[in-house]
Structure 1
């Protein structure tokens, strides 16, 4: 039996979409502080594998390497928030970091431990909210839309349910790992990525479209994921420094300066629009790591520093490959020179590579095919032609295995 009475018709309304971005707080450094809790509250720098590990003397007194005693040309992998307050950030040359924070403790990286804690925190999140997009060793997106209770009001707070679910996720991560994380929850991935940074460390930020004007628009344009140094500089030349100023800009002007696709995206991003879904699984075409330098580097005068940066990128890339279970037969490099001229080179091998040493050796071979006539502002490394790691480790000569047989004059630039 049906009724024509409109009062009896209850339309089906799709629930508000809630997407969370979870970012572990100073992840590598925080894992190390679990091992050395006596260092909590101090400036601590993680600086590759070459740093001396802490040790105790016969009296039980701990001894640590300090930045002021460092004499190599390494780069900072990460740092605690206390070190960041002194100006020390990831990808910074360790010698420069020593000038800014000479008394900071320097610890070696332990990537196996970081991978273990990464698995632990993601498993803890999955028990609460299983729809997860893995974005790296220390960050994930989570679709909370269908999690029970997320749309409930709590008392006079209409967003109390989503806050409660996000708090439950944070508590689960801490119980499983002893570590803190920051979570941003909004209707989409773009806003959630920004929100997770707003109240770090140990933050929980829930925003709706109504909060964009007060919480997002006052931020600098670089806070939007997808606006890099080059685009930000160009926007600055146009007098656009904040997200709000970008939102107020005529879309036609943005398209004129940045092209139809990116210009339209800039306008949409400034207004917080993003319809991308949380992707739970996809087969990557390639996996890459890159970093933009604080200053342009000279291929000869800054050779040692560039070498250390490349070492670190290859180490991080090897961690990514191992975590995702891949190896690759193609290794490529990306170089951006002053003037924003970008050069790429790649090389394919009969056997897939996976370790940091193999990737580093292959990247070095690619570097030999580049003319370094200008200063560098960006360096990246990529592994493509991916295969499952378990099926790839065949007894075939790799670029790393050939190193000993190659004449000294043919070794890579840095």
Structure 2
């Protein structure tokens, strides 16, 4: 079957986390709402049964926005924005805490609804999937409309779907008519609907590449389609420049991958204030243990063990350091993860306050295919300056506390960027 005869859909839930919260608090519909506050942002139930909501103007801390309603986005508040900056843009916006258990529940509901149509589904995270509709009888608009109705019936939420010849176009197209969109794209639509878009709209062109393209005068997908292939190869290398040329023309032969394995899982937290390695040792130790327990729970829930355990620290000067250790056998228990991460910690001099702490498990295998190593519970974490090299890669900004599963599956994501 040729790529041109395929019918690939990308389904993206609309402002997913925020929409789930509006099911719980329907009185907030039509208002600017920001998700990402801590427990202190939980609504207060008044004696008359009404609710008092926290406002963004009262927030104090260094958290970031997980997601926001479209009304808040109209005020300039988007995912991954610092909460204090968001408060300047939308001080009267309602602030709600995140509830990942609820988001996972609704994620399972919508995916189950889609699975009634076909098993040809590629899970791309908590709020989006690819669907291969090629073998489903019926016209594409009718099938997509039926799927949208099924998702709404199962969840009470809306989604946006694009049906296109490939994954690249379907992904771009699902953003074109949000919210509650149903979009059809064919190769003939590329000049009118795709080429006017910013190059950043192409999945796979990140901030650094788009900045480099802008330096060459390439701002839109159309500019990229008209660019000289030799110029692109000079600046981006043979492989990536070749992909850029194909992407600009809307060509993509990737299949819908029905089953795949996650590459890693991680948990991290950004502290409300910078913590001192010695003076705040109890708080750091408790946070460290909690992260290891949560990571172990993630591994157990998904049925994996990891052989490489990593540690991530971000200091008060925003320098990020990562260390990892590969074990003789894979593990999945919290004590083993904590022990291995502590070994990583010994290789990092702790001479500055900490703003972020994270743990990670990679080199994953199925738990039923490997014997997880068990280690005794370790003592208190020693937050004292140790030997080791401290230079690490600079990390990206964080979204408060989140769990990450790099790969397929209903990963708990920092935020839904739609």
Structure 1 unmatched runs, 5+: 1-11, 150-160, 291-297, 301-306, 373-378
Q: Does 1:278 align with 2:267?
A: no
Q: Does 1:226 align with 2:204?
A: yes
Of 375, 380, 384, which aligns to 1:405? Answer: 380
Separation of aligned partners in 1, 2:336 and 2:207: 31
Q: Shift of the alpha carbon at 1:81?
A: 1.3
2:233 paired residue number: 255
| Structure 1 counterpart SS, 2:41 | coil
- Higher RCO structure (Cα 8 Å, ≥6 apart): 2
Structure 2 CA distance for partners of 1:186 and 1:364, relative to 1, 3 Å? farther
Cα distance, 1:207 vs. partner? 0.4
Aligned to 1:87: 76
Q: What CA distance in whole angstroms lies between the structure 2 residues aligned with 1:164 and 1:316?
A: 42
In structure 1, the partner of 2:122 is 133
**How many residue pairs end up in the alignment?**
365
User: Does the CA-based 8 Å contact 1:328-1:354 persist in structure 2?
Assistant: no
In 2: Cα distance, 1:178 partner to 1:69 partner? 31
Q: In the superposition, relative to structure 1, how do residues 78 and 13 fare at CA in structure 2: closer, same or farther (>3 Å)?
A: closer
CA distance in 1, matches of 2:292, 2:64: 13
Q: Which moved more, 1:119-128 or 1:81-90?
A: 81-90
Aligned residues of 1:351 and 1:396 also touching (Cα < 8 A): no
Deviations 1:50-106 (A, max 9, x none): 343113211122111111112222222111111122222222222222222111111
Match of 1:108 in 2: 97
Contact 1:347 / 1:366 at 8 angstroms: preserved in 2?
Answer: yes
Other-structure match for 2:106: 117
Check whether the contact 1:111–1:319 (CA below 8 A) recurs between aligned residues.
no
Do residues 185 (structure 1) and 160 (structure 2) align? no
| Contact 1:136–1:320 (8 Å) recurs in 2 | no
Secondary structure at 1:137 match in 2: coil
Match of 2:34 among 38, 45, 52: 45
Do 2:349 and 2:385's aligned partners in 1 also have CA atoms closer than 8 Å? no
Distance (whole Å) between structure 2 residues aligned to residue 87 and residue 94 of structure 1: 12
| Alignment deviations for residues 289-346 of structure 1 (CA, whole Å, 9 cap, x no partner) | 99xxxxxxx999xxxxxx9xx99x999988975774434342446899xxxx998632
Say what the alpha-carbon RMSD is for the aligned residues: 4.2
Residue 207 of structure 1 is aligned with which of 161, 179, 185?
185
Partner deviation per Cα, 1:196-234 (whole Å, 9 max, x = no partner):
111111111110000000000000001000001111111
Distance 1:319 1:394, change over 3 A: closer
Query: SS of the residue aligned with 1:46?
Result: strand
Write out the 4+ residue segments of structure 1 that deviate beyond 6 Å after TM superposition: 12-15, 313-320, 333-336, 357-365, 390-395
* Cα gap change, 1:206 to 1:126, in 2 (>3 Å): same
For residues 7-406 of structure 1, what are the structure 2 equivalents within 5 Å?
Answer: 16-149=5-138, 161-287=139-265, 324-332=302-310, 345-348=323-326, 352-353=331-332, 383-388=361-366, 396-397=374-375, 402=378, 405-406=380-381
Distance 1:361 1:199 in 2: 49
1:49, 1:110 within 8 Å by CA — same for their partners in 2?
A: no
Whole-Å Cα distance in 2 between the matches of residues 195 and 42 of structure 1? 27
